[in-house]
Amino acid sequence: MSVETLSGQSEKAYALLKEDAQKILKLIEVQMANLTMPQCPLYEEVLDTQMFGLSREIDFAIRLNLIREEEGKQLLDQLEKQLTALHEASMKKS
C-alpha cells in the first residue's frame, strides 16, 4: 500500500471517528434538553454505551494503524471535556 493511500485512509478514519464523537455530543445535548436530567440512570446508560462504542472504534483504528494512539486518546479526552462542560451548564440551569 502506498504512503499516499495510507495517509488518505488515516485522514478518513480520523474524520469518521471525529464525526462519531460529534454525534455523541449532539445526542447527549438533545437528551439533556428534552428528555432526562444528568442524574437519571437512563442518561448515564446512554452516555456509557456511546462512549464505550467510540472507544472500541478508536481502538480498532489504532490496531489497524489508521490513527496513532495519541490521536485516539486526544479525541476521547476532547469529547469528555465537552460533555463535562455540557453537564455543568445543565446543572446551573436547574
- What is the pTM assigned to this prediction? 0.82
pLDDT above 80: residue 38:
no
Is position 46 within any domain? yes
pLDDT above 70: residue 16:
yes
At which residue does the C-alpha cell 452516555 appear?
47
Is position 12 within any domain? no
How many domains in the chain? 1
* Average pLDDT along the chain: 86
Is position 7 within any domain? no
Is position 57 within any domain? yes
Identify the CATH number of the domain in which residue 57 sits.
1.10.287
Helices (H), ranges, 2-94 = 3-34, 41-63, 69-93
Q: How many Cα atoms are found within 13 Å in the side-chain-facing hemisphere of 48?
A: 7
Question: What CA–CA distance (Å, rounded) separates 89 from 13?
Answer: 31
Q: Which domain holds residue 54?
A: 32-94
Is position 79 within any domain? yes
Percent of the chain scoring above 90 in pLDDT = 55
Question: What CA–CA distance (Å, rounded) separates 45 from 66?
Answer: 29
pLDDT above 80: residue 72:
yes
